[in-house]
Amino acid sequence: MRKRGSDLNRFRLPVLQGVLPFDRPALPTEILAGITFASLAIPEVMGYTKIVGTPVITGLYTILIPMALFSIFGSSRHLVVGADSATAAITASALAGMAVAGSSEYLALASLLALLAGVLLITARIIGLGFLADFLSRTVLVGFLTGVGIQVASTEIPPMMGIEASEHGTLHKLWSFVQNFDQFHWPTVAISIAVLLVVLVGRQLSRKVPGPLIAVVGVICLSWFLDFDASGIAVLGPVPSGLPALAIPEVNWSWAPIKQLLPTALAIFVVILAQSAATSRAYAARYDDKFSENNDLIGLSAANLGAAFSGTFVVNGSPTKTEMVASVGGKSQIAQLTTVLIVLVVILFLTAPLAYLPNAALSAIVFLIGVNLIDLRGLVKIYKQARSEFWIAVSTTGVVVIVGVEQGIIFAMVLSLIDHTRHGYRPKNSVIVQGKKIGWHTKSLAEPNQILPGLVIYRFSHGMYYANTQRLTEEVTSIVQSTSNKINWFCIDASAIDTVDFTAGYTLKSIFKFLKRNKIQLVFLMLEPDVKAQLDKFGVSDLIGAESFFDTGESLISVYQNKATGS
């Protein structure tokens, strides 16, 4: 373990764990990384406001207080917390019918959603629900983010062409675009293409080239010089400057809006858990660092509460932003704190030029954000390596695109749970037999299935619970009834069993009675103490006797052979 990891372990205060201890010689590199990240992130977060439907300045607010709060209270040295396309799309989907996009009421509801997410995150830390992050599999996450990418990218096509698309829903917007195909505004199209080319060329040259920033600054200058607004090219218009007013979201504080937003807040909560935990784990492993998921929950909660009280929308641990910082040399939260200071300067002194920014330029940047989320390589890889999981990913993508983002994340959670249950429902059980020359090995349940004459060792490869007890009964019955040689002992190898629920305990007692009727003794091999305690509680241990449990294969064979020879 690197010295940095051991130092972090000694640093036990629940704040600044992503900053301290820091490497003094690396400080200039960290600051430079923060400056570079700011140039990449500022145009991006402005683009996220188009997805959410809030004023442009709120995108900068997602960096200012939320990012600073996570840097203080989180534990990951690498995770970047800020506006994210997935949670932005879920927010927009939930608020679409509740208020007019861009209005003060709409923004207040977006802040309320961030407040609910922050409360859920701190509640998860208090009662230990961090494990819910594991209930979004990599498969459905790829499908979900691909669906979000398709939705985000397709939504920005009409404004890139200068077409108003008032319809809701991805398919309806695309159909509206097709119907109004002849209404292209070619100057707007030219601006969109120019921005796309600048960003893509910058990306090809180097990931450190701030293509979006170059494109935004360039098109603002052209807009000011050529007066785009007078030429019929839509621009943002005046953007307020100054620090956000810290206040409770100005909403109707009754149960009705909270009840309406709570399912969306739960969906956002799961996405934040899954994406943030996965990203923190990946980068901690890459740099041999440590982090605490529980402390990160506190940091994520603080960041969303900060977003709520500063008048902006939900923030999330972002894989793309984390990679941005890592790719330019950032290895601690010092880089993110540097970005916060730069954004502070922009908010205070440099918002006036944003009034000249064409809407099409912002749409082009958001379009590329959506395209980057479409993970075709990931889908192809899943298709080649796990065909059944590929269809799960594609189904998730389809639900997101056709039905909606919020429904897509719920669908993804359900599919993840079904996929998990499927693996436990049909475990790949086996029997243990003697090798041809030496040692033991597993084989299918077909004959020959006895390791010694009269002794069967049946390996159950999953926890025993209500969903797989029928399979357990069927396989034990099949082995007993199909074998050509008489069985004296039926041993269950329990080395892979980590739990036994009430239904499984009842089933084991039934299996014991079935075996006893056939004059076969039931024994267990390598049972974990916790599982043994469960068998004690369900009365299985008393039924089969204390002498029926063996810690090693050698002791099992020895006792069996002694009884077989009568010694």
pLDDT at position 5? 42
Average pLDDT over residues 109-117: 96
Residue at 546: amino acid letter: A
**Does pLDDT of 184 surpass 50?**
yes
Residues 316 and 458 in one domain: no
pLDDT in tens, 208-267: 778 888 998 999 999 999 999 888 898 988 888 899 999 999 998 889 899 999 999 998
**Does pLDDT of 317 surpass 60?**
yes
Instruction: Report the C-alpha gap between 502 and 534 in whole angstroms.
Output: 9
What are the backbone dihedrals phi and psi of residue 434, each rounded to the nearest 5 degrees, phi first? -75, 140
Residues 366 and 465 in one domain: no
- Within a domain: 325: yes
- Within a domain: 20: no
pLDDT in tens, 418-476: 777 777 778 889 999 887 767 788 888 877 889 999 999 999 999 999 989 999 999 99
Residues 523 and 377 in one domain: no
Q: Return the higher-pLDDT residue of 165 and 58.
A: 58
- Within a domain: 248: yes
Residues 137 and 230 in one domain: yes
- The pLDDT-based confidence of 8 (bands split at 50, 70, 90) is very low
- Within a domain: 361: yes
Domain end: 400, 420, 440, which one? Answer: 420
Domain end: 360, 389, 420, which one? Answer: 420
pLDDT at position 13? 56
As given in the structure block, the two tokens for residue 451 are 């390791």
First and final C-alpha spacing in the chain: 54
Residues 394 and 413 in one domain: yes
Of 283-292, 331-340, 349-358, 533-542, the poorest mean pLDDT is in: 283-292
Closest CA to 479 of 504, 454, 506: 454
The crossing angle, in degrees rounded to 10, of helices 138-160 and 85-95 is 70
Range of the domain at 454: 430-565
Domain end: 401, 420, 439, which one? Answer: 420
Residues 112 and 84 in one domain: yes
Residues 249 and 105 in one domain: yes
**Does pLDDT of 10 surpass 60?**
no
How would you write 437-505 as a 3-class SS string?
A: CCCEEEECCCCCCCCECCEEEEECCCCECCCCHHHHHHHHHHHHHHCCCCCCEEEEECCCCCCECHHHH
Q: Return the higher-pLDDT residue of 419 and 100.
A: 100
Residue at 156: amino acid letter: E
Q: Sign of dihedral through CA atoms 9, 14, 17, 22? A: negative
Does the predicted model carry a pTM greater than 0.85?
no
Q: What is the CATH number of the domain that holds 463?
A: 3.30.750.24
Residues 269 and 405 in one domain: yes
- Within a domain: 17: no
DSSP secondary structure code for residue 245 in this structure:
P
Q: Return the higher-pLDDT residue of 313 and 323.
A: 313
- The pLDDT-based confidence of 496 (bands split at 50, 70, 90) is very high
Residues 383 and 464 in one domain: no
**Does pLDDT of 513 surpass 80?**
yes
**Does pLDDT of 2 surpass 50?**
no
- Within a domain: 5: no
Percent of the chain with pLDDT over 90: 48
Q: Cis bond leading into 448, ω under 30°?
A: yes
- Within a domain: 15: no
Instruction: Report the C-alpha gap between 27 and 33 in whole angstroms.
Output: 10
Residues 414 and 441 in one domain: no
Residues 258 and 379 in one domain: yes
Domain count, the chain: 2
**Does pLDDT of 334 surpass 90?**
yes
What are the backbone dihedrals phi and psi of residue 38, each rounded to the nearest 5 degrees, phi first? -60, -40
In this structure, are residues 166 and 160 in contact, taking their beta carbons and an 8 Å threshold?
Answer: no
Residues 363 and 464 in one domain: no
User: What are the distances in angstroms from CA 76 to CA 327, 413, 432?
Assistant: 17, 25, 45
- Within a domain: 351: yes
Q: Return the higher-pLDDT residue of 387 and 524.
A: 524
